[in-house]
């Protein structure tokens, strides 16, 4: 691909758009924002072959998507600021954490955005600014512009948001469970970031971007999850992590020496093993059986979610990355977080 400036196409309220933005900024990759607005949406979808965001337009005009594959590509291409460890245990941990954060956080992000009508209305203003006006969420709107986007939140909640919560098994009846798990996870990150700047030490990896994405697009943006953060005094911690990533790479910063995993990362990996991984396995197996939904109890009461084949695609991506890494006897093997990725078919 040619050198030059990339176009980041998406929405400021999209966790995966913000995830990709985090990597572009940390690696100091030249880029500019381009909102996927209604006047160019159909053309972009035709070119890209997908309606999903983000899209990344390369300097030579290629339009690519899926942050799972874009992340390693950019890390390799801009290797003066790598965001993938070269040692086996840290590299494997990075991909395992990315997979978990990519696909577990949507439960909290979607629930907190769409279940509460007032929060949905607030989010709709941001979506409307991007999609209808090609303006940033930080831009002031005129009275006429504000009126134009006023109904966006309720419309999106009714047509998409509530259904998306049901897909994740995170409907209104699971409010207490979702917030409790969110608080637990934020507590684990707070403990970790008290002694480390990033997940694997003093420099960011792709998994850090998977944390920044929902934090920037949802948790620090929307009133409801922001109130959850403030209740537990976790807002400053999360905001500081986002700012460290957005301030871009510092030359000479490294991951922990000797391929070590921070002790404070162990509870985060254990949480993934006990929550996301059984969720993913149940979802994938139900999809393979041709079942549209599955029931699961993670210790807080049974819930029903939609089976998702795409979780297996993500799992196999991690499996491919782990092939050939020397992980026998590692802390990851001892924790049991490798098992989900060891089989070609679940």
pLDDT tens readout for residues 116-132: 999 999 999 999 999 99
Asked whether the predicted pLDDT for residue 261 surpasses 70, the reply is yes
The predicted structure's pLDDT at residue 184: 98
User: Considering the chain, what percentage of its residues have pLDDT values greater than 90?
Assistant: 94
Percent of the chain with pLDDT over 70: 99
**Dihedral sign (CA 62, 67, 68, 71):** positive
Contact 295, 304 (CB under 8 A): yes
Answer yes or no: is pLDDT of 1 > 60. no
Tokens of 167: 């897909």
| The pLDDT of residue 275 is above 90 | yes
Q: Is the pLDDT of residue 150 over 80?
A: yes
Pairing of strands 6-10, 31-35: parallel
Ranges 34-48, 180-194, 247-261, most confident = 180-194
Write out the residue limits of the CATH 3.40.30.10 domain(s) in the chain: 6-77
pLDDT in tens, 156-178: 999 999 999 999 999 999 999 99
What one-character-per-residue DSSP string does 97-135 give? HHHHHHHHHHHHHHHHHHTSHHHHHHHHHHHHHHHHH--
Note the Cα 22 to chain centre separation in Å.
11
CB-based contact 20:44 (threshold 8 Å):
no
| Superfamily of domain covering 6-77 | Glutaredoxin (3.40.30.10)
Residue with tokens 């924002």: 33
Query: Do the Cβ atoms of 283 and 311 come closer than 8 Å?
Result: yes
Query: 139 by DSSP, 3-state: which?
Result: coil
Strands 302-306 and 6-10: what pairing? Answer: unpaired
Whether the predicted pLDDT of 233 surpasses 70: yes
Q: Which has the closest alpha carbon to 102: 151, 66, 140?
A: 66
Mean pLDDT for the chain? 96
Residue 3: per-residue pLDDT: 78
- pTM for the predicted model, two decimal places: 0.96
Measure the CA–CA gap between 328 and 342, rounded to whole angstroms: 12
Q: What is the pLDDT of residues 89-102, one digit of tens each?
A: 999 999 999 999 99
What residues have CB less than 8 Å from 178, skipping those under 6 apart?
107, 108, 111, 112, 170
pLDDT tens-place string over residues 306-330 = 999 999 999 999 999 999 999 999 9
Banded pLDDT at 342 (limits 50, 70, 90): very high
The mean pLDDT of 251-264, rounded to a whole number, is 94
Question: Can you give the pLDDT at residue 2?
Answer: 61
């Amino acid at each position: 691909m040619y050198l030059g400036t990339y176009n980041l196409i998406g929405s400021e309220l999209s966790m995966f758009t913000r995830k990709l933005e985090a990597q572009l900024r940390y690696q100091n990759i030249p880029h500019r924002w381009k909102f996927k607005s209604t006047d160019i949406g159909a053309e972009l979808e035709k070119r890209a072959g997908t309606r999903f965001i983000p899209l990344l337009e390369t300097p030579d005009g290629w339009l690519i998507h899926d942050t799972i594959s874009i992340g390693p590509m950019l890390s390799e291409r801009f290797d003066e600021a790598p965001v993938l460890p070269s040692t086996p245990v840290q590299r494997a941990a990075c991909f395992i954490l990315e997979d978990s954060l990519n696909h577990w956080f949507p439960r909290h992000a979607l629930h907190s955005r769409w279940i509460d009508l007032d929060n949905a209305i607030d989010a709709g203003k941001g979506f409307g600014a991007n999609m209808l006006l090609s303006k940033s969420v930080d831009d002031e709107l005129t009275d006429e512009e504000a009126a134009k986007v006023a109904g966006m939140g309720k419309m999106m909640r009714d047509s998409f948001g509530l259904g998306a919560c049901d897909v994740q098994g995170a409907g209104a009846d699971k409010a207490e469970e979702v917030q409790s798990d969110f608080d637990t996870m934020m507590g684990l990150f707070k403990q970790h970031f008290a002694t480390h700047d990033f997940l694997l030490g003093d420099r960011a990896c792709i998994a850090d971007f998977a944390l920044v994405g929902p934090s920037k697009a949802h948790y620090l943006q929307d009133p409801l999850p922001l109130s959850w953060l403030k209740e537990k005094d976790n807002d400053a911690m999360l905001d500081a992590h986002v700012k460290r990533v957005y301030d871009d790479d510092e030359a000479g910063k490294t991951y922990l020496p000797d391929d070590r995993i921070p002790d404070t990362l162990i509870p985060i990996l254990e949480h993934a093993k006990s929550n996301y991984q059984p969720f993913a396995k149940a979802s994938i197996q139900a999809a393979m059986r041709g079942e549209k939904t599955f029931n699961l109890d993670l210790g807080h009461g049974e819930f029903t979610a939609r089976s998702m084949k795409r979780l297996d695609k993500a799992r196999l991506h991690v499996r491919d990355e782990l092939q050939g890494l020397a992980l026998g006897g590692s802390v990851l093997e001892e924790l049991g977080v490798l098992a989900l990725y060891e089989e070609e078919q679940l």
